Structure formats: C-alpha cells, structure tokens
Structure 1
C-alpha cells in the first residue's frame, strides 16, 4: 500500500509531517492547498480513519500509526484558532 507524507505548515510557521498509509488522503488534502485549521482537522481526521480502514480491509488489522497521526494532528490543531490558515505541501 503506497504511503503518503505531507508537510503541514501551521500559522506560526512550524512545520510537521503528516503520514498516511494510503493515497486516499490525497482526496482530502492536496499539496499546494491552504485551508483553515478547523477544515484541516476535519478532513485529516476523516482521511486518516478511511486510510486505516483500507489497511484493515487489506491486512486484517487497522493501522495504529494512522490512529496516532490523527491524534497528533487534532492535538496540534487545538493550539491554533479554527480560522487560522495552514498550508499543505509535499516533502
């Protein structure tokens, strides 16, 4: 299953890497996109859960790393205002 890594540049200039075990995340988040923190959290959560389920369908177990990525993404998002912008890029 192809992995995807995306850079997330937060409103304060901090950059984190978002990992997905599936390319399905590219249906939700695209390099070059700028969006509000709340939208990133919502799309990221949905995409990572779907990616984890794709792993489950293929291998018989969910992807715990995708679950951890979701937790970290949502935790980091709480530091910023919902309307602040983040930028998505390819590593």
Structure 2
C-alpha cells in the first residue's frame, strides 16, 4: 500500500511525524493548513480509520500502527486543550519513500 507520513506542528512549536498506511490522509489533511485541535483530531480519526480498513480489506487485518498513531495524536492534542485557540498545523504530507530511514523517528 502507498504509505504516507504527515508532519504536524503543535501549539507549542513541537513538530511530530505521524504515519498513515494509505494516501487517503491527503483527502483529509492539507500541507500548510492550521486546524483547530478538535477538527484536526476528528479529520485524523476519519482518515486513519479508513486507511486501517483499507489494510484490512487487502491483508485481512486492521493496521495497528494507524490505531497507535491516532492514540498518540489524541493524547498530544488533549495536552493542549487548555490553550485558547490552539491549532495543529500540517506542515507536510510526504510519501514513505521520502525517508531513507524507512520513516523511523
């Protein structure tokens, strides 16, 4: 499957890279776009859910890594709930082959 990574800048300036097992993430998130936290989490949840189901359809099992990435996004976003007007900015959507290390952090 065509794997993707997306880089997110959190309200405190921290940047984190996340994984999607499918390019469907491009249908939900756009590079250079800032999203209110709840909206970002919702769009990530939808995209990673669809991506995981695509893995299930192809291989017979859901993508646990996508579920783990969503849990990490939800946890990180929750830590900024007290910040008024907090946004998550998608800095880039990148194909997995853009990372010679295989996308590992």
Counting matched residue pairs gives: 91
Output one character per residue of 1:27-78: Cα deviation in whole Å (capped at 9) or x when no partner.
0011111111111111001110110000000111100100100110101110
What pairs with 1:44-83 in structure 2 (closer than 5 Å)? 44-81=44-81, 83=85
Q: 2:38 corresponds to which residue?
A: 38
Instruction: Give the whole-Å Cα distance in 1 for the aligned partners of 2:10 and 2:23.
Output: 22
Structure with higher Rg: it is: 2
Instruction: Give the whole-Å Cα distance in 1 for the aligned partners of 2:64 and 2:72.
Output: 12
Local SS of the residue matching 1:29:
coil
C-alpha displacement at 1:12, in angstroms? 0.3
C-alpha displacement at 1:83, in angstroms? 3.4
C-alpha displacement at 1:22, in angstroms? 0.2
Structure 1 runs (4+) deviating above 4 angstroms are none
User: Structure 2: 5+ residue runs without aligned partners?
Assistant: 95-105
Normalised to the residue count of structure 1, the TM-score between the two structures is 0.94
Local SS of the residue matching 1:13:
coil
Instruction: Give the whole-Å Cα distance in 1 for the aligned partners of 2:85 and 2:58.
Output: 37
Q: 2:102 corresponds to which residue?
A: none
Root-mean-square deviation over aligned CA pairs: 1.3
